[in-house]
Chain A
Amino acid sequence: MNTLNKKLIIAFFSVLILGLIGLFTIHKATQSRVSNLPVISKVPDFQLDNFDGTSFTEKKLDNKITVASFIFTQCDGACPIMSTNIGILQRRFSESDELQFISITTDPDYDSKSVLQDFSDKYSGKDNWFFLRGDIGDVITLAEDGFFLSADLLPVGHSTRLVLIDHDRNIRKYYEGTVDANILELQYDIVTLIDQG
């Protein structure tokens, strides 16, 4: 066998092996996106009021992908960043009717329906983002026992994490609502859930 043939065979096997490694890695990466969204727990029953006066219960989460968060309108640290980020996601997914957002106030004394309405006007560009209020005791229970988020020293002590909930009311993952990298991660995970149906 001459040297050219030998080199061609080496080249053939190198490309074949690299191709197989590439295929395997890409396959694993795609798979890992799904397996990285395990079911954490089911959102319990709750009843809160939307700012337009309608009632909002856990049943509204069925057959929708929901991004949930806790905020209050007078908060000047994390909440504006979180709400801006949610607004960006809302705009990017505006074509989808599978996705919705809920933001629950941790300061229901101040955040009346009309205050929440103003807050909605400021950040939300579509009617799939619900700003909810209810009895502070219910909100704390929901945050701590339903979403496993800290709710000490409210209103300021609310968690800044966003919660991804799937079509079947299952909590799938948490994201730091003020970190760009996590928002992008959330965006990819929403696409994964939409693709899964």
Chain B
Amino acid sequence: MKKQLFFQSAVISTILSYLLIFVGGLVRVSGSGMGCPDWPRCFGRWIPPTNVDQIPSHIDPTSFNIVLAWIEYGNRSLGVIVGFSIIILNVIAIYYFRKELKLLVSAILSLILVGANGGLGALVVSSVLDPFLVSLHMILALILVSVLSYACIESYKGMHLEKFKDMEINRTLSNSLIVFWILIVIEILLGTGIRTNLELVSIENPLLSKGELLNTLDSYKYLHSVLGFSLLFLSIYIYLKLRYNKLYIAQFLGAFTLGMIIVQIFLGEMMIFFELPQLTRLFHTWGSSWLVGVIIILYNCISNEYAQ
């Protein structure tokens, strides 16, 4: 029952964090990052202004754009909600699971991460959206969902020991999941690097079209595609290995991983041929964040200490 409570709280925190990554991506692709020039408030107000008269006289109203302000503030508000849901997770962990280190540590670590990422958000604004800091902000969010996914699967295992008891251990599969996760992280870092460089070039060359921007990048942008295609084969392997697994989640997530890789390749190529449409960028980034968490859950499903 207590485990159930922790599990539910962890699942809610994880889903909210994924939603937060989506909204954060929306801020980036819609160019709303400076929608609120101050932090944590927005034009000196806890509720963003709805018209220019509400801006206090000591704050310059030049950059006021009601749409961008509310998009940016949506990201911050959802961040606060995620913060609260993780605080609840920590209360449950500290109250009931002081001796279960896996649960306790993952809860505390996620609290530290969400706090740190909020603070980093302030730096992002005060640096006027330094592309490196923006990317770091996203990477911290990916670490956060990884830790939360771990908390989900560990508490789930605690509740359903019987399901995991007769799992057969497959070292090769476990190891290939580790390799897959590392490669996904590298792939995300490469993608983030491309994004960062495009933004840096576009600030210096505001007149370049998106197609011309892509051409300014070195050939390392192809590394992202090459690695993407090779991940396809690894994910096919993982899918085939898990296809008849006794554990329903393992089957499902194996198929999910393969499907998501195919979707990601499709979205990625679309971005090249149609000059980076914003919505495609948003889902490309978001999909990759799902893979990070899903692989962590998969690994912990099939490589567990309860198995015989």
* Interface residues of A, Cβ cutoff 8 Å to B: 4, 18-19, 22-23, 25-26, 28-33, 36, 92-93, 95-96, 173-176, 179-182, 184-185, 187-188, 190-191, 194
Contacts and interface: CB of A to CB of B under 8 A. Distances in A.
B31 interface: yes
Contacts of A28: 67
Given A32-B66, A181-B34, A22 B26 contact: yes
Contacts of A25: 26, 30, 71
Interface string B87-119: 000000000000000000000000000000000
B203 interface: yes
Interface residues of B, number: 28
Interface in B25-68: 26, 29-32, 34, 37, 60, 62-63, 65-68
Given A29-B71, A92-B205, A181 B65 contact: no
A181 B282 contact: no
Given A22-B279, A32-B68, A181 B26 contact: no
15 contacts: A4-B252, A19-B283, A22-B282, A23-B279, A26-B29, A26-B30, A26-B278, A26-B279, A32-B67, A92-B203, A173-B62, A180-B128, A185-B63, A187-B206, A194-B207
Contacts, number: 73
A3 to B, nearest CB: 9
A92 B206 contact: yes
A18 B22 CA distance: 9
Contacts of A33: 65
Contact of A176 (B62, B71, B203, B278): B62
Given A32-B68, A96-B207, 18 more contacts: A18-B22, A19-B283, A22-B283, A25-B30, A29-B30, A29-B32, A29-B67, A30-B30, A32-B66, A92-B203, A92-B204, A95-B207, A179-B60, A182-B62, A184-B34, A187-B203, A187-B206, A188-B206
Contacts of A180: 128
Interface string B246-260: 000000100000000
Residue among A30, A31, A176, A181 facing the most chain B CB atoms (10 A cut-off):
A181
A188 B65 contact: no
B283 A32 contact: no
Contacts of A191: 206-207
A183 to B, nearest CB: 9
A174 B61 CA distance: 9
